Amino acid sequence: MLQYISASVVYPVSSPPVENGVIALEEDGTVHAVLHVEQAKEQGIENIKYYEGFLVPGLINTHCHLELSHLFGKIAEQTGLQGFVQQVIKYRDSSEELILEAMQKADREMLENGIVAVGDISNQLVSRAIKSGSRLYYHTFIETLGFNPAQAKTIFEKALKMKEEFTPLKASIVPHAPYSISKELFAAIKDYSLKEDNLLSMHNQETEDENLFFQFNQGAFLKLYEFLGLDISFFSATGKSSLQSVVEELPGSKVLLVHNTLTSAEDIRYATSVHDGLYWCLCPNANQYIENRLPDVQMLAEANLKITLGTDSLASNHQLSILAEMKTLQENFNLSFETLLEWATCNGAAYLGIEEQYGTLEKGKRPGINLVEFAPEGKISGKTSVRRII
């Protein structure tokens, strides 16, 4: 038997919004149809449950680090990326019990905030049990880190082993960032990605020093390497931005570039000319937390890129909520609710390769359905809320 729900506006995302639209649902939450209210009347449909607000598909968080959830409230804000990394190293160790408890809470928080699927960076196996028992879909990015060429082989083999240990959960092997991966390690990931279906993701241009390091071998990163005890005498500046220096090392049909705070129009021209499968993830609240700076989102939006949203971790955010990321973007840039919703749903689903089930309200999909309340005319404010109703 079908059940019917309706609201002030229904946003299928794959097609224009429907005022007073009616969603017909199968018992398990699969969308059967999205109807105009007149169609529903013509068909004699009764027993429609009406909500005040918007009905939207489940939200997709394409960048999180579940295993850092226990660092919530521990990291000082606006210290810059180097200060952030140093603090994470300092506070990361904790008892497994506390780490598990914090991840469980974070997983529940995402569910309550209408998130249905997560792209999650992992350096360890510790999140496996939480992900296995979760109602959310997780794709785990096994993150490699290693600027010392001599260690590339060992690091890659360790990642391969971890990927096996995550089975049957979906996982792929990814580089951390341009400045933390040796040419040799990039090459190992590239070889693997050309042979296997290996969804790629990489932190990109989060801070000005990342470009400075690649262009001139200068800036605060030199201090960071010193702090980490790394001899980087083998490195020579490329004279190009970090993205332009490494984008050719990222093969595969889809690559997610995360943050893009310092990405220029020229970087975009270059990167999109050599790779046609790039997705661009924005994590504005984490950018404000760490660097107090935002990417040029207007420029990114106008470049017609495939943009997705992410929360990053509770080490650099006050909450795990895609709606809160949409709010920050709407406050700082000229972006419509519909554009933000596309970034928050179907683009993330397409990137994660789960668009057959998630991302839009279309017949045959079971995307999860959220009610967004208190957003008059699509204006997201502190009063706006989201909750999952299906």
Binding site for Zn ion (CB under 5 A): 312
The residue nearest Zn ion at its CB is: 312
State the nearest-atom distance from the C-beta of 203 to Zn ion, in Å: 6
Q: Which residue has the tokens 């997983």?
A: 107
* Bridge pairing between strands 369-373 and 385-388: antiparallel
Comparison of 8 and 82: residue with beta carbon closer to Zn ion: 82
Q: Which residue has the tokens 């290996």?
A: 198
DSSP state of 378: G
Amino acid identity, position 130: I
Q: How many CA atoms lie within 13 A of 371 on its CB side?
A: 15
Comparison of 91 and 270: residue with beta carbon closer to Zn ion: 91
Residue 184 C-alpha from the chain's centroid: 27
State the nearest-atom distance from the C-beta of 288 to Zn ion, in Å: 14
State the nearest-atom distance from the C-beta of 56 to Zn ion, in Å: 25
State the nearest-atom distance from the C-beta of 105 to Zn ion, in Å: 19
Q: Is residue 67 a contact partner of residue 377, using CB atoms and an 8 Å limit?
A: no
Comparison of 107 and 312: residue with beta carbon closer to Zn ion: 312
Residue 193 φ then ψ, to 5°: -70, -25
State the nearest-atom distance from the C-beta of 210 to Zn ion, in Å: 13
Comparison of 180 and 360: residue with beta carbon closer to Zn ion: 180
Sign of the alpha-carbon torsion through 268, 269, 274, 275: positive
Comparison of 201 and 244: residue with beta carbon closer to Zn ion: 201
Is the backbone peptide bond immediately before 168 cis, with ω within 30 degrees of 0?
Answer: yes
User: CB neighbours (10 Å) of residue 42?
Assistant: 10
Comparison of 206 and 362: residue with beta carbon closer to Zn ion: 206
Comparison of 267 and 312: residue with beta carbon closer to Zn ion: 312
Distance separating alpha carbons of residues 254 and 347, to the nearest angstrom: 12
State the nearest-atom distance from the C-beta of 281 to Zn ion, in Å: 9
Distance separating alpha carbons of residues 77 and 290, to the nearest angstrom: 6
Comparison of 312 and 355: residue with beta carbon closer to Zn ion: 312
State the nearest-atom distance from the C-beta of 310 to Zn ion, in Å: 8
State the nearest-atom distance from the C-beta of 65 to Zn ion, in Å: 6
- Taking phi over 0 as left and psi of -120 to 50 as alpha, with beta for the rest, 9 belongs to beta
State the nearest-atom distance from the C-beta of 225 to Zn ion, in Å: 19
Q: Which residues contact 231 (CB under 8 A, 6 or more apart)?
A: 148
Distance separating alpha carbons of residues 245 and 52, to the nearest angstrom: 50
Amino acid identity, position 300: L
Q: Which residues contact 389 (CB under 8 A, 6 or more apart)?
A: 5, 51, 55, 369, 370, 371
State the nearest-atom distance from the C-beta of 376 to Zn ion, in Å: 33
Q: How many CA atoms lie within 13 A of 112 on its CB side?
A: 8
Comparison of 54 and 138: residue with beta carbon closer to Zn ion: 138
Comparison of 174 and 340: residue with beta carbon closer to Zn ion: 174
Distance separating alpha carbons of residues 117 and 357, to the nearest angstrom: 11
Is the backbone peptide bond immediately before 376 cis, with ω within 30 degrees of 0?
Answer: no
